[in-house]
Amino acid sequence: MGVPVYLVDAFADGAFTGNPAGVVPTAEPLPESLMAAIAMELHQAETAFVSPLADGTVSLRWFTPTVEVDLCGHATLAAAHVLREHPQAGWAFDRDEIKFATRSGVLIARPDGDVLELDFPDEAPEPAELPGPLPFPGGAVWTGRNRMDWFVQLADEAQVRALAPDPAAVAALGLRGLVVTAVADRGGPADFVSRCFYPQTGVPEDPVTGSAHCGLAPFWADRLGRTELVGFQASRRGGTVAVRLAVDRVRLGGRAVTTVRGELLLPD
């Protein structure tokens, strides 16, 4: 049996930038074990599995090559892009406001000019001491956590860009992973920069992490005094995430580009 499969660069400035995600749309949900096997085969940071539900929403689940996760921004953006740009036969839903049913509740994707905007939960981190030493030399300005990740603020953008953390030490901290951030250098388009490390979920460094910006947005809004900001994730590929705070929600804006479209051949 064959099903459609796409690779999409999300939060991208063009092809081969941003964060690639697999997207597998199917008329009926696949067995969990098969989704996990496909995600391992595609070997992207996340693969999104989408299928239509009777109430007009779309089931959405996210898998890394090793685990299922509770929230993923870039694969949600990729899934919304696929459903708008590559309509699936027989699917009936509102492509101008796609409602995804997920482990983190209903998430909404809407077009906003030439970008897609995602309506995600506010995941502001609270101050907390790390359960172990910093997984890299030097000190931190601030440390904290939300339900998913540890957060570390450094003194400047240069320190964030120069990081080479020990993956084993990051994994030893627990939670999903580690988000490191600093205010951006003056004169650039971004207000803050970040890098995200998730070795315990099979992703040593994520290129662009939408879900991390659910915590970064309120964190930097409090410090910079604005509710609309631009974040740049300073990974090797790099990617831009526009963030906008609403009541208990964070709006994430970005562009997506399809780079691969094909058919996944499933075992009988």
- Overall number of domains in the chain: 2
> Are 108 and 157 in the same domain?
no
Residue 157 is among the residues annotated as catalytic for this protein: no
pTM for the whole structure: 0.90
Catalytic residue from among 28, 32, 41, 46: 46
> Are 160 and 64 in the same domain?
no
- Angle, helices 210-224/73-85, rounded to nearest 10 degrees: 120
Q: Identify the three-state secondary structure at position 91.
A: coil
> Are 31 and 108 in the same domain?
yes
> Are 186 and 112 in the same domain?
no
Domain with 230, as residue range(s), is 126-247
Query: Nearest to residue 61, comparing CAs of 5, 15, 118, 107?
Result: 107
> Are 166 and 53 in the same domain?
no
CA distance 44 to 52: 23
Per-residue pLDDT of the chain (268 residues; tens, 9 = 90+): 799 999 999 999 899 999 999 999 999 999 999 999 999 999 999 999 999 999 989 999 999 999 999 999 999 999 999 999 998 877 877 778 999 999 999 999 999 888 999 999 999 999 999 999 999 999 999 999 999 999 999 999 999 999 999 999 999 999 999 999 999 998 789 999 999 999 998 889 999 999 999 999 999 999 999 999 999 999 999 999 999 999 999 999 999 999 999 999 988 7
> Are 108 and 154 in the same domain?
no
> Are 97 and 133 in the same domain?
no
Q: Domain containing 57 — which CATH number? A: 3.10.310.10
Query: Nearest to residue 75, comparing CAs of 94, 104, 49, 98?
Result: 49
Instruction: Please give the structure tokens belonging to residue 92.
Output: 């009936």
**Which DSSP string do the residues of 125-163 spell out, in sequence order?**
-EE---SS--SSSS--SEEEE-SSEEEEE-SSHHHHHH-
> Are 143 and 206 in the same domain?
yes
